[in-house]
Structures are given as structure tokens and as C-alpha cells.
């Protein structure tokens, strides 16, 4: 082990839960590491000091109705006491060009096409700027506090002058804007022209006048697009909206020259001209000017967005990058919190795979910063591999979507998020655009073992998956753990050595590489236990230049709280079509036999056995389970095994024809459950619990290569495993399948047809 800072004795565990904001919180640079690899911890603490203990997590939910919170101290070099310090989070995206002699201009013209989304924000927003706000020096084209186009020109100690149009720009309207300054005459001009002539004719502005006081020797801070330099060089004046084709010229251009630029017919040579239609899949803003002043996109603004010339005839940016030559900037974008490392540890050889955490404690405030120790590729320590759905964790992390509905349940983690306006893929930006990217290099406050999902009033995601881990430990099963990123990058090589792959409670977000790997695993006889709900729902990409960033663009159909803008369904990072996997002919039913069909944050329901459960192929699954037992009429999540988000069998969507429908919750749910909106064609007849779509199905089928799949189709399933000291039918069924799937004995192929009459959902009398 290695340690980056000092340590002292182990701290005692401090139970904590309360509404006050967390005083100590952290995150890691990696979510999974193998023995010999190092994980770094970044911590912010408002107390003078905090203590750290290295623990292995087993069960997160501390409800008295369950087995309680379980963790085990694992002696480590990170154990000890550390000096506290507050680390801040600076949100907001922009392009950083830096300083260059060619941009130190006495006379100049600045041009761009802009679409403001929050034009009158009450404070200035930079469009194109070489401006140091701390000393009021440089030049900048901005929107002022009232949303009017304005020019700033200033010299440190020599006075600042400005000019504004007096006519605010309209929200979400495209404009060609320009400003110029002639040092010889001290004349400034502003040009504001709607990109679509005739629609907003009252927005036309062409204005010129002499500035007073007269600035001279203009210089400023770093050159930025969508921001200017604030105190200490921080990004200030952040812009909310789209910018396309910003350019800088080394003289004051004439009105006719600006008209030509606005009509895209100019031959005037710029000092710099950035083409955002080049390198859309990356973070570089390419300059086509003579100096190659390429910029760097900070905090991941949205690319592959429709520009000023988008015709609506092409929806794939890879076919028409010139129509997607804009960048959408947001004052609340965040790619990397950029906290400094407080301590780090190198995982010793021989460390058992599992879920670990650095437990931080400062006074009565506590935080668990979780990470996974994975087995080295090709060197498994068990026959079973648990795949933690960490892309789902990352997508939901810091969600504010439900906060207003459940204020009474807000935890310290939620207060931390709200105070900093952090976002998830379930939130819109302040300007109204859907969030397209989510990073793991930030505090992910819901990635905590004790975290309760506010609108559910119950544990979910990591806490639900720890219920599975706890059950595996209780039953004595050996297992390894990995995360979605491991599957994405390692592919079949990660899965191949294992007899069974266990999918967690909520594996909603999948990349193409992950799907390919699991399909290849089936091809070699792999076995899968899917113990969750809403599998393989949204197309997901990992940024090739920054794998800590996931991209999701939701729409045009699907159950969602946000939606990508029209024309913006293709991912910027990979160019692939976003939305639901089912729209790309890769349905969850084909992979695991069931797919998302209904959801409710309310009470769940049990399952009843169906005729197929007596098929000889399924005999091993129901050993020790009575013929008339309700399965899972109990649980820590929604009070039953079929709850929250549930999946069902659908042969038309790809469920294999030989799949066995073992049990179903059909007809047992209350009216709080609603059908997935993508399955509703007539909104005047939205189904309720009386509709057969509102159900969770337990399904089993064999694969051609000798493998098999067992799916429970419910996020709440793992919450029922520990009921009655782990002695219950949910636990028994899961154990029966697990013991069969990890055994060396081959699984026979399909030999006996399913037992189906006219209605396969009719339970056996």
C-alpha cells in the first residue's frame, strides 16, 4: 500500500442521518481498481479535521426492518486523521483559448452567430472576450444584464467604455452579432441581425458611435468564448445558449463587410475563426485562422447540437457537420470537479474482490466514498461475477428532479446537491436544455450505502445491490465484482472465465460494447441471472477522450424526465443514434427475456406461479417452494418483490419462443402503477393495474450454446432476499438458480415446450 498523507489510529464508526448539509464528502478518481492499482480520494471537509477508516461494505440499508447496516474494517494505510479543507465546485462551460500576441488588438471586430437561452439573466454573459473583469481591461462582446448586445473596451487604470444596442435578444432566436472598435477614431459599432430574416424584424440593430472615455492600448486576460476572466482567472460571465462560428479580425470592418460575413459570403481574412463543426466528437475548438489558436472546451459543453443553418432535413450530425457547427454552453455544466487528492491507496495483491469504501467522519457528519476492487482480467477468484450497474449510478447521481415533491425526505446528500445546483441525466440545465453528459469525477451523493431515493422512500441502486452482496455472503457463495466500465473496456475477456454473470438491481444504461460482450458470453455458453428491472433501456456512450464522461440523449420515445432537442438525438462522442435500445433493434427481451413495462414509487406486489413453473425444465428453480405460495409478499424496497420499475415478457419484442413464464405479478398491483409511455398509443386509454402490461414476470430460458438466463424483472427483488433471516421463497428461488448456474454440470437445452393456453398469463388454479 502507498499513502499520500499522514495517519493516526482507527476512528470509531459514527451513525448519522439528518437534514443538514454534509460537512465531509468525497469522491475517487476511479470507481474500480485491481490489486496493484491505485485509487485516489478527493475530500472536502468544513471541519478542522476528519477521520478515515477503510471498510468493506456488505449491507447498506439501516432500516430496523432488515438486517441493518453492515461493514467490516479492513486495516489499511489510509486509516487515520486528516486535515480538513473545503474544496469548491466551479460549474460552467466555455472555450479557453488562452493568451496570444495576435489577440492583443487595439482595433478589432468580433463576430459570431448566437442563440441565447437565458438572455436577460440579471448579469452579463460573455460571447467572445479577452477581458479581465478584476481590472476592467480588454475587450468583450457580451449580452448585458438586460439581454442586450454590448461591447466593452477597457484599459487597466485608463478607463472603460461600453456600447449597447438597447434591444434585447429573444430567447432561442438565432442572430448574427458583431462588434467593432477603431482605436484611431474611438468609434465602436454593434450589429445585431436575426438569422431568419423577416421573423424578428424589430430585432435588427446597426449602431455606431464614438466611445467616451477613449480606451487605448487594449489588453486583457485569457481569450475565452462564452466566458471572461474573473477574479483570480476564474471563469465568469458564463453564457447560457449556443454559439457558432466566432471570429476575430484585426481591424474595424465596414458595414458591408459585416453584411457579407453575416450572409457567409465574406473573403475577409480573420485573425482567428473557430469552426465548431470540426472535431465534434472531442473537446478541441478548432481555429481555421493563420495562427492555429485552437481552444479547449472546459466542463463539457454540448456538441452535436443544431446550428444556425440547420434545415431540419438531416438529423445525423455525421452527415452534415456544417449544420451542427454550434456549441451549447451552460452555466451549470460540470465535467470534472478538479478537487485535489487528499490520500491514495494502492490495493495490495491478494485483496478479495468486493465493494469497499473510505469511511469519512467529521463530528456527527459521515460519508462513505465507495469503490470496487475487481479481479485482474482473466484471473477470477470465483465462478460468479456481479456486474454493478455503475452507469445507472452515474446517470442518477445528484438528481434534483424529485426534490420538490418529497422535501420532507431530503437528506444531507440532497442538500449538498441543491446548494451547488449539481445535475443528473434526469435534470434539465438552468436554461431548459436536457442534460446530455454525466461525469463520475465529482461527488456523486447518491452513490452511498445508506442513501434513500427520495421519491421512493427506500434504498435503491448501490444500496439495493449491497442487498444482493449481503445475500451472497450469507449463503456462502464466492463472487467477484466489476463495474460497467470494466465490461465496456474489457469485453468478453472480462466475462469469459465466469460460469455466471449476475446483473444488479437496475442495469438501465448500456453501451454497445457492453451488449456485444454479453451476447458473445452467451455464445460461449455463459449463464446470466438478471435480478433487477429496466435492463438495457437507454443507449449510452463513454467519451473516447474522457471515459469518466457518459453521454445519453433521451428521445424521441421512452419513459423519461428530460428529452433531447429535435435534431439532437445522435451522440457527440460516438456519432451513434441515441434513445432507446429497442429503436436500434437491440431489445432487452432478446438479451434477458423481459423488458421494462411499468413503474410506481408506491407499494409493490408479489408474484403468483404460472403454468410454466411446473415444466420439468424449471423443476430445480422451485425446489422447496409451495404450489400456492405468493412469492415475495414482503421486502425492504416497496414492501414486496415486484416493485418500483418492473419488466415483463414480450414475444413480439424478442423474448425467445421457448422461454418459460414462471411467475407473474399480473393483476396484483395497485393503480399507482403506470404503463411505460412508449407502450401507450392512445393517451385517452392509459392502462392501469387492470391492464396486463402492468406486471413483473419471472422468466427462464436456455441458450443455443448451453447457457441459460434467469430473470426476475423487478428492481425490488433484492430487497426481499433477507426477509425472515434469509429464509423465504425469494431467497430460496434465487439460491436454487445460483447453485445450478455455478455448478460444473451442463445445462440441458430446450426439450419440453412451454405450457401455454390461449392466455399464458392465467395462473394455475
pLDDT for position 325: 99
Distance separating alpha carbons of residues 375 and 359, to the nearest angstrom:
23
The x, y and z cell numbers of residue 562, run together, are 428530460
Q: Which residues touch 150 (CB under 8 Å, ≥6 apart)?
A: 124, 141, 142, 143, 144, 162, 163, 164, 165, 179, 190
Residues across the chain: 765
Distance separating alpha carbons of residues 414 and 400, to the nearest angstrom:
8
Quick check: is 412 in a domain? no
Quick check: is 662 in a domain? no
Is the dihedral angle over the CA atoms 424, 426, 427, 433 positive or is it negative?
A: positive
What b/e readout covers 223-261, taking b as 16+ CB neighbours within 10 angstroms?
bbbbbbbbeeeebbbbbbbbbbbbbbbbbbbeeebbbeb
| Block residue for cell numbers 478541441 | 284
Q: Which residues touch 182 (CB under 8 Å, ≥6 apart)?
A: 107, 188, 251, 252
Quick check: is 205 in a domain? yes
pLDDT for position 412: 87
Distance separating alpha carbons of residues 743 and 689, to the nearest angstrom:
39
**Cα maximum dimension of the chain:** 95
Distance separating alpha carbons of residues 211 and 238, to the nearest angstrom:
25
pLDDT for position 537: 97
The x, y and z cell numbers of residue 51, run together, are 477521520
Range of the domain at 309: 94-329
Distance separating alpha carbons of residues 584 and 581, to the nearest angstrom:
5
pLDDT for position 408: 47
pLDDT for position 10: 25
Q: Which DSSP category does 176 fall into?
A: E
pLDDT for position 238: 99
For residue 172, give the nearest of 147, 205, 144, 190 by alpha carbon. 147
Distance separating alpha carbons of residues 92 and 96, to the nearest angstrom:
12
Tens digit of each residue's pLDDT (9 = 90 or more) over 670-729: 988 988 877 666 555 555 545 678 999 999 999 999 999 999 999 999 999 999 999 999
Number of domains comprising the chain = 1
CATH assignment at residue 228: 2.60.120.200
Task: Count CB-CB contacts under 10 A for residue 311.
Answer: 9
Quick check: is 660 in a domain? no
What b/e readout covers 481-503, taking b as 16+ CB neighbours within 10 angstroms?
bbbbbbbbbbbbebbbbbbbbbb
**Whether the model pTM is above 0.85:** yes
Quick check: is 291 in a domain? yes
The x, y and z cell numbers of residue 375, run together, are 479481479
The x, y and z cell numbers of residue 484, run together, are 460497467
pLDDT for position 557: 86
pLDDT for position 274: 99
pLDDT for position 745: 92
Quick check: is 136 in a domain? yes
What b/e readout covers 5-33, taking b as 16+ CB neighbours within 10 angstroms?
eebeebbeeeeeeeeebbbbbbbbbbbbb
Half-sphere exposure of 293 (CA within 13 A, CB side): 24
Segments of the chain scoring below 70 in pLDDT: 1-20, 197-201, 216-218, 401-409, 679-691, 756-765
Quick check: is 125 in a domain? yes
Quick check: is 324 in a domain? yes
Amino acid at each position: 500500500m502507498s499513502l499520500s498523507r499522514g495517519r493516526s489510529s482507527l476512528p470509531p464508526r459514527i451513525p448519522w442521518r439528518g437534514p443538514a448539509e454534509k460537512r465531509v464528502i468525497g469522491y475517487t478518481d476511479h470507481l474500480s481498481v485491481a490489486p496493484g492499482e491505485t485509487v485516489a480520494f478527493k475530500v472536502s471537509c468544513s471541519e478542522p479535521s476528519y477521520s478515515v477508516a477503510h471498510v468493506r461494505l456488505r449491507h447498506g440499508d439501516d432500516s430496523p426492518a432488515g438486517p441493518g447496516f453492515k461493514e467490516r474494517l479492513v486495516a489499511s494505510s489510509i486509516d487515520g486523521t486528516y486535515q480538513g479543507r473545503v474544496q469548491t465546485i466551479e460549474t460552467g462551460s466555455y472555450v479557453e483559448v488562452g493568451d496570444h500576441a495576435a489577440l492583443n488588438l487595439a482595433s478589432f471586430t468580433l463576430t459570431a452567430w448566437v442563440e441565447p437561452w437565458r438572455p436577460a439573466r440579471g448579469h452579463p454573459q460573455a460571447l467572445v472576450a479577452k477581458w479581465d473583469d478584476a481590472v476592467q481591461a480588454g475587450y468583450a462582446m457580451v449580452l448585458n444584464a438586460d439581454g442586450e448586445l454590448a461591447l466593452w473596451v477597457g484599459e487597466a487604470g485608463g478607463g472603460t467604455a461600453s456600447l449597447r444596442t438597447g434591444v434585447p435578444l429573444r430567447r432561442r432566436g438565432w442572430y448574427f452579432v458583431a462588434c467593432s472598435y477603431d482605436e484611431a477614431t474611438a468609434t465602436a459599432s454593434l450589429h445585431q441581425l436575426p438569422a431568419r430574416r423577416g421573423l424578428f424584424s424589430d430585432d435588427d440593430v446597426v449602431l455606431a458611435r464614438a466611445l467616451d472615455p477613449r480606451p487605448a492600448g487594449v489588453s486583457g486576460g485569457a481569450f475565452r468564448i462564452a466566458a471572461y476572466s474573473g477574479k483570480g482567472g476564474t471563469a465568469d460571465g458564463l453564457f447560457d445558449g449556443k454559439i457558432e462560428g466566432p471570429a476575430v479580425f484585426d481591424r474595424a470592418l465596414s458595414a458591408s463587410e459585416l453584411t457579407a460575413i453575416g450572409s457567409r459570403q465574406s473573403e475577409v481574412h480573420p485573425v482567428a475563426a473557430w469552426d465548431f463543426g470540426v472535431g465534434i466528437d472531442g473537446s478541441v475548438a478548432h481555429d481555421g485562422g493563420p495562427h492555429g489558436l485552437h481552444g479547449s472546451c472546459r466542463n463539457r459543453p454540448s456538441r452535436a447540437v443544431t446550428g444556425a443553418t440547420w434545415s431540419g432535413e438531416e438529423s445525423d450530425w455525421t452527415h452534415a457537420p456544417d449544420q451542427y457547427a454550434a456549441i451549447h454552453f451552460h452555466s451549470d455544466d460540470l465535467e470534472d470537479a478538479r478537487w485535489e487528492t487528499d490520500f491514495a491507496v494502492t490495493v495490495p495483491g491478494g485483496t478479495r474482490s468486493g465493494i469497499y469504501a473510505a469511511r469519512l467522519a467529521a463530528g456527527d457528519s459521515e460519508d462513505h466514498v465507495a469503490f470496487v476492487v475487481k479481479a485482474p482480467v482473466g484471473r477470477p477468484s470465483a465462478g460468479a461475477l456481479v456486474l454493478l450497474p455503475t452507469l445507472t449510478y452515474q446517470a442518477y447521481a445528484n438528481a434534483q428532479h424529485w426534490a420538490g415533491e418529497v422535501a420532507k425526505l431530503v437528506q444531507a446528500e440532497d442538500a449538498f446537491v441543491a446548494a451547488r445546483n449539481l445535475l443528473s441525466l434526469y435534470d434539465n440545465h438552468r436554461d431548459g436544455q436536457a442534460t446530455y453528459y454525466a461525469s463520475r469525477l465529482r461527488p456523486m451523493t447518491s452513490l452511498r450505502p445508506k442513501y434513500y431515493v427520495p421519491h421512493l422512500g427506500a434504498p435503491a441502486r448501490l444500496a439495493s445491490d449491497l442487498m444482493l452482496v449481503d445475500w451472497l455472503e450469507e449463503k456462502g457463495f464466492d463472487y467477484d465484482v466489476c463495474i460497467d466500465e470494466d465490461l465496456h473496456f474489457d469485453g468478453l475477456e472480462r466475462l469469459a472465465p465466469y460460469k455466471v454473470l449476475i446483473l444488479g438491481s437496475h442495469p438501465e444504461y448500456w453501451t454497445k460494447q457492453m451488449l456485444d460482450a454479453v451476447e458473445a458470453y452467451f455464445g460461449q455458453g455463459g449463464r446470466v441471472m438478471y435480478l433487477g428491472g429496466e435492463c438495457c433501456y437507454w443507449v449510452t456512450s463513454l467519451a473516447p477522450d474522457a471515459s469518466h464522461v457518459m453521454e445519453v440523449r433521451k428521445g424521441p420515445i421512452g419513459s423519461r424526465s428530460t428529452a433531447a432537442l429535435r435534431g439532437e438525438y445522435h451522440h457527440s462522442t460516438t456519432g451513434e443514434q441515441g434513445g432507446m435500445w429497442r429503436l436500434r433493434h437491440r431489445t432487452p427481451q432478446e438479451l434477458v427475456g423481459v423488458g421494462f413495462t411499468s413503474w410506481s414509487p408506491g407499494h409493490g406486489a408479489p408474484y403468483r406461479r404460472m403454468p410454466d413453473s411446473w415444466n420439468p425444465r424449471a423443476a430445480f428453480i422451485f425446489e422447496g417452494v409451495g404450489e400456492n405460495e405468493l412469492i415475495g409478499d414482503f421486502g425492504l424496497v416497496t414492501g414486496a418483490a415486484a416493485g418500483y420499475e418492473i419488466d415483463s415478457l414480450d414475444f413480439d419484442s424478442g423474448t425467445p419462443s421457448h422461454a418459460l413464464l414462471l411467475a407473474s405479478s399480473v393483476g396484483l398491483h395497485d393503480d399507482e402503477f403506470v404503463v411505460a409511455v412508449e407502450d401507450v398509443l392512445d393517451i385517452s386509454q392509459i392502462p392501469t393495474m387492470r391492464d396486463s402490461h402492468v406486471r413483473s414476470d419471472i422468466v427462464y430460458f436456455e441458450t443455443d450454446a448451453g447457457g441459460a438466463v434467469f430473470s426476475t424483472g423487478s428492481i425490488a427483488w433484492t430487497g426481499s432476499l433477507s426477509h425472515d433471516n434469509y429464509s423465504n421463497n425469494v431467497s430460496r428461488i434465487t439460491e436454487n438458480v445460483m447453485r445450478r448456474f455455478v455448478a460444473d454440470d451442463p445445462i440441458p437445452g430446450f426439450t419440453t415446450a412451454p405450457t401455454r393456453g390461449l392466455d399464458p398469463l392465467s395462473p394455475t388454479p
